């Protein structure tokens, strides 16, 4: 089969890590008899430099035409002072909207071999853990109205952000989470703040109703403050964490740190149908950009998610995941994983090792 992939390398370490991921896809293609055709386009800071805006119509068109989008990361200090509406990160919001992406799926698993890089005590993470955060992407306080007004109490200027969720948006993401739990450990933990927020009460009622369509999956509700605590206390209790845009943003970064390095975690953003976007959860890491030391694993594992979710190539996805595990077992470590021990390898050496094991 032939697959068209729009590639946005982006800024900072983006080009370094995406190049390794493209090599890994080519290896998979060779081994399994597929052709991956890449079309590179700009978005983020490099697009501002080239075209004066973070996202062009051409980039959107190429992404819509593709079977999937592979993205590195965007942003960096160079563009910190551009006006808000032109910031590199606007490219991500624009792409999500243009492609109708409403679910962000972020697995967080601890490979037992990386347990020393995990900040939790050994007995808490013994045997590793395997959870996935299913975060709603198009609603919540990020997409309500943002405005300022004068305080009615005479306290000066007030910043306001409207938080809202419709039943439709909650149903849509909840079904994704339950469907995912069905092929995993069959448990959904829905995270909200229903003791305080009306949006969360709509969220909780809707999730409870949708759960009836999935009687084989266990549903539990958890307040976000408790969820933040439980992730540290006992991450093994979770299978699928279903949550809104804001809480998901925070909890998935917390879960990321439990795996030892932010450089390990892939993500998929998917919509009702059509093109999915696959990217590491980390940013453009300007502090290490251009040094050839970034960990490419999050981006490489994002390609495995692409094969599984967009192309239905489960065996090929597993080949990437197994090769990554093998590379780690054989002792390959980029600086972020080495925790001051053993030999440190470069971005390219890690990519090459994974290709070899595929
Ligand atoms: P970051 O994720 O880029 O970096 C945080 C820390 O993690 C840094 O110390 C960095 O060196 C390290 N790190 C990140 N990825 C790594 C990897 N693959 N290997 C080894 N170490 C890695 O977050 P930040 O510093 O808050 O943001 C930097 C820039 O990235 C900002 O402009 C921000 O807006 C942008 N950003 C973009 C995205 C995206 O494109 N999806 C996401 C988050 C942040």
Pairing of strands 266-271, 101-109: antiparallel
* Amino acid 249: pLDDT: 92
263 ligand 1 Cβ < 6 A: yes
Instruction: Name the strand (E) or helix (H) holding 110.
Output: none
Model pTM? Answer: 0.88
pLDDT, tens only, 269-284: 998 777 899 999 899 9
Contact 232, 131 (CB under 8 A): no
β-bridge partners, 70: 7, 278
Average pLDDT, the chain: 94
Percentage of residues in the chain having pLDDT higher than 90: 80
How do beta strands 68-73 and 276-280 pair? parallel
Q: Is 223 a catalytic residue?
A: no
Find the 258 Cα to ligand 1 centroid distance in Å: 16
DSSP 203-214: HHHHHHHHHTT-
Q: Evaluate if residue 166 carries a pLDDT over 90.
A: yes
* Tokens read off for 26: 């080519």
* Residue 125: per-residue pLDDT: 85
For residue 357, pLDDT over 90 is answered with: yes
CB contact at 8 A, 329 and 340:
no
Band of the pLDDT at 181, cuts 50, 70, 90?
Answer: very high
Across the range 6-24, mean pLDDT stands at: 98
Q: Is 286 in the pocket of ligand 1 (CB under 6 A)?
A: yes
Q: pLDDT by residue (tens digit) across 300-355?
A: 999 999 999 899 899 999 999 999 999 999 999 999 888 766 679 999 999 999 99
Measuring CA to CA, which residue among 294, 291, 316, 292 is closest to residue 305?
A: 316
CB 133 within 8 A of CB 251: yes
Distance in Å, CA 210 to ligand 1 centroid: 36
> What is the sign, positive or negative, of the torsion defined by CA atoms of 346, 350, 352, 353?
positive
Set 193, 214, 239, 336: catalytic member: 193
**253 among known catalytic residues:** yes
Kindly list the distances between the CA atom of residue 347 and the CA atoms of 5, 30, 220, 334, in Å, as whole numbers in the listed order: 22, 22, 40, 7
As a whole number of angstroms, the distance between CA 272 and CA 43 comes to: 24
Question: Of 151-160, 217-226, 335-344, where does mean pLDDT reach its minimum?
Answer: 335-344
Mutational pocket test of ligand 1: of 44, 262, 297, the residue with most ligand atoms within 8 Å of the beta carbon: 262
Distance 128 CA to ligand 1 centre (A): 25
Residues 201 and 162 sit within 8 Å (Cβ to Cβ): no
- Give 74 Cα–ligand 1 centroid separation in angstroms: 9
Structure tokens of 358?
A: 């595929």
Query: Whose C-alpha lies nearest to ligand 1, atom 10?
Result: 285
Choice from 46, 284, 349 to test ligand 1 binding pocket (greatest atom count within 8 A of CB):
284
What pLDDT is recorded for position 245? 95
What is the total residue count of the chain?
Answer: 358
Q: What is the pLDDT of residues 84-137, one digit of tens each?
A: 878 999 999 899 889 999 999 999 988 877 787 788 888 888 888 899 999 999
Position 126 scores a pLDDT of 85
Tokens at 253, concatenated = 């970064």
Per-residue pLDDT, 340: 67
Give me ligand 1 centre to Cα 288, in Å.
9
CA atoms within 13 A on the CB side of 185: 13
132 lines ligand 1 (CB under 6 A): no
Active-site entry in 53, 86, 187, 249: 249
Please give the Cα distance from 38 to 65 (Å, whole number): 12
């Amino acid at each position: 089969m032939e697959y068209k992939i729009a590639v946005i390398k982006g800024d900072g370490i983006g080009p370094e890590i995406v190049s390794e991921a493209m090599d890994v896809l080519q290896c998979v293609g060779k081994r399994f008899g597929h052709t991956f055709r890449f079309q590179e386009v700009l978005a983020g800071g490099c697009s501002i430099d080239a075209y004066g805006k973070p996202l062009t119509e051409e980039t959107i068109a190429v992404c819509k035409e593709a079977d999937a989008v592979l993205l590195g990361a965007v942003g960096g200090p160079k563009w910190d002072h551009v006006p808000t509406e032109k910031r590199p990160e606007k490219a991500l919001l624009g792409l999500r909207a243009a492609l109708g992406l409403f679910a962000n799926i972020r697995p967080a698993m601890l490979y037992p071999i990386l347990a020393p890089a995990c900040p939790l005590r050994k007995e808490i993470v013994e045997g590793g853990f395997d959870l996935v955060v299913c975060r709603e992407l198009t609603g919540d306080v990020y997409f309500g109205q943002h405005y300022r007004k004068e305080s009615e109490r005479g306290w000066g200027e007030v910043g306001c952000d409207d938080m809202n969720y419709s039943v439709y948006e909650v149903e849509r993401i909840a079904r994704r989470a339950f469907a995912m739990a069905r092929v995993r450990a069959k448990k959904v933990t829905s995270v909200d703040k229903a003791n305080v927020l009306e949006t969360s009460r709509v969220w909780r009622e809707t999730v409870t109703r949708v759960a009836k369509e999935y009687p084989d999956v266990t549903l539990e509700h958890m307040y976000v403050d408790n969820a933040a605590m439980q992730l540290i206390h006992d991450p093994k209790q979770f299978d699928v964490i279903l949550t809104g845009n804001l809480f998901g943003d925070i909890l998935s970064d917390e879960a990321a740190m439990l795996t030892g390095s932010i450089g390990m975690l892939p993500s998929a953003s998917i919509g009702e149908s059509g093109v999915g976007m696959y990217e590491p959860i980390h940013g453009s890491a300007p502090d290490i950009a251009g040094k050839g030391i970034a960990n490419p694993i999050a981006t490489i594992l994002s390609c495995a998610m692409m094969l599984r979710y967009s192309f239905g190539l489960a065996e090929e996805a597993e080949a990437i995941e197994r090769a990554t595990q093998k590379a780690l077992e054989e002792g390959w470590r980029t600086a972020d994983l080495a925790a001051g021990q053993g030999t440190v390898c470069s971005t390219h050496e890690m990519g090459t090792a994974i290709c070899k094991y595929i």
